[in-house]
Amino acid sequence: MEEILIPNDITVFYKTAKSFPDGVLDAHTELRKLITFSPERRYFGISRPENGVIVYRAAAEEIHNGEGREFNCDTLVLKKGRYISITIADFMKDIKSIERTFKQLLAHPALDPNGYCVELYLNDKDVQCMVRLK
């Protein structure tokens, strides 16, 4: 587990999964239909409990301000600050490793109570799991 600093807020637009965890892949597929892959853009999975249910959002970073509106998508801001993080190599070999990793991260005593569980997809194989600290 390492602490990292995200120096600036990150505005993302997203597609919400119809259910969690079953709808996660469909949400990413819907998002990828909207946009062309770009190495300039970061891709995320963002989740947290809302009204007693885990809500999962497949998200892409806005490359320019207002891009989410152009795609008729809602947006949210991943706040800058300190995050705890664990990177998982080749996560598709063991997809449950993401769940286990977040359980480990969520045990940290100094979490932001309004934060998200954030998956930053570094490439097609590796994901960085992060949770914001107070």
Residue 102 has what pLDDT?
96
Residue 37 has what pLDDT?
81
pTM of the entire structure? Answer: 0.93
Contacts of 39 (CB under 8 A, 6+ apart): none
- Topology classification of domain 2-132: Multidrug-efflux Transporter 1 Regulator Bmrr; Chain A (3.20.80)
What is the per-residue pLDDT across 28-79, written as a single tens digit (0 to 9) for each?
A: 999 999 998 888 899 999 999 999 999 999 999 999 999 999 999 999 999 9
Helix, strand, or coil (residue 130): strand
What is the per-residue pLDDT across 81-120, written as a single tens digit (0 to 9) for each?
A: 999 999 999 998 998 999 999 999 999 999 999 999 999 9
